[in-house]
């Protein structure tokens, strides 16, 4: 049986990363609005970028696992080339 919707267990780590990035981005915005030190802003911005990259890689990894465990699933077919392009967009 194919599974078309990610489970709550699959979504939880991705959502946690995205929420962490959201909090870090809010801190960057507050620092810029409040005249924060350049060094602190850049460090927080790097943290946001890293959190988003990790969430993206986790999403792609889940898609790859799905393709490997259910290659006949036609609800959202992805070729190896498409998965590779997704990885490269995050690099």
Domains of the chain: 9-89 (1.20.58.1000)
Write the pLDDT tens digit of every residue in 52-91: 988 888 888 877 777 666 666 666 667 778 877 877 877 7
pLDDT at residue 63 in the model: 73
The number of residues making up the chain comes to 91
Q: Is 73 exposed, middle or buried (0-12, 13-18, 19+ CB in 10 A)?
A: middle
Q: What's the pLDDT score for residue 1?
A: 38
First-to-final CA distance of the chain: 34
pLDDT per residue as tens digits for the range 6-39: 678 878 888 998 999 999 999 999 999 999 999 9
Spatial CB neighbours of 17, under 8 Å, sequence gap ≥ 6: 51, 52, 54, 55, 58
Spatial separation of the C-alpha atoms in residues 20 and 26, rounded to whole Å? 10
């Amino acid at each position: 049986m194919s599974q078309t919707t990610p489970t709550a267990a699959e979504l939880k780590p991705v959502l946690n990363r995205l929420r962490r990035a959201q909090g870090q981005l809010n801190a960057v915005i507050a620092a810029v609005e409040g005249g924060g030190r350049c060094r602190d802003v850049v460090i927080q911005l790097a943290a946001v970028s890293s959190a988003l990259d990790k969430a993206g890689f986790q999403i792609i990894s889940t898609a790859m696992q799905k393709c490997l465990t259910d290659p006949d699933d036609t609800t959202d077919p992805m070729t190896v080339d498409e998965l590779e392009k997704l990885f490269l967009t995050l690099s």
